[in-house]
Amino acid sequence: MNSTARPSTSLWMTCLMLIHCLTFVPACVGDTHDPTRQAERDRMVNEQIVPRGIKDQAVLAAMRRIPRHKFVSSFYSAFAYHDGPVPIGHGQTISQPYVVALMTDALALQGAKKVLEIGTGSGYQAAVLAEIVPNVFTIEIVEPLATEAAQTLAELGYRNIYTRVGDGYQGWPEEAPFDAIIVTASSEHVPQPLLDQLAVGGRLIIPVGNAFQEAQELVLYRRTTDGYERTRLSLVRFVPLIHKDQSTQPGER
């Protein structure tokens, strides 16, 4: 379950990680003989993701390939493959690996050509998507995060990810329709612009509910010729989907 970040989340999480590292030093230092950290990625997939029921081989392969440690600062690099969120600055965190896998898996991306992501954050989720589909469009309302993510993705060689600073609630209408849409912040309702931009047969995944409740529902919508099919997947905790006229709040991306 994703934990909603609070203003003190980074400090609290740092203290918790330091305690963990002091207790389990070998797990935190990583494999110093392998700068690619492939062994850590393999453990992440084998121990955190596969046992929890993720079976899509494209998702598993993507998460084995992508150097997750490149999406966090050097200060938190030791925790890049930790089974939980990690701070990325600006009051935000990179989501728990399993949550990334769960949401990507639920989109059933086989054959998809265009995916829209709302909430770029570190850029890691966009990279996972870009390993599976030809074109990924991603929107981030926090400009420094969008800039940092675009730079990281470019340095890693991704040429099929298109970033934009803006209000994700409105989607990316000029590039619609999308075969899949993924939203990494909660909303009390599904934004109508996103539903409108979903192709027939496409899937949209979003945390739905009041962000100040104990939990929201992770919900999958599938567009049909007659409307939308709705499926509840699990309980999660995300912060609100932010609009331009709202103050930025911390969350997982």
Quote the longest CA-to-CA distance of the chain. Answer: 56
Of 95, 122, 186, 187, the catalytic one is 95
β-pair type (92-94, 178-183): unpaired
Distance from C-alpha of 220 to C-alpha of 109, rounded to nearest angstrom: 13
Three-class secondary structure assignment of 168-217 = HHHCCHHHCCEEEEEECCEECCCCHHHHHCEEEEEEEEEEECCCCCCCEE
Residue type, 48: Q
Distance from C-alpha of 12 to C-alpha of 147, rounded to nearest angstrom: 26
User: For the range 218-226, what are the long-range contacts, defined as Cβ-Cβ under 8 Å and sequence gap of 24 or more?
Assistant: 218/102, 218/103, 218/106, 219/190, 220/106, 221/190, 221/195, 223/195, 223/198, 223/199, 224/200, 225/200
Q: Residue 174 in contact with residue 116, Cβ under 8 Å?
A: no
Please confirm, yes or no, whether 186 is among the known catalytic residues: no
Q: Which residues are part of the catalytic machinery?
A: 95
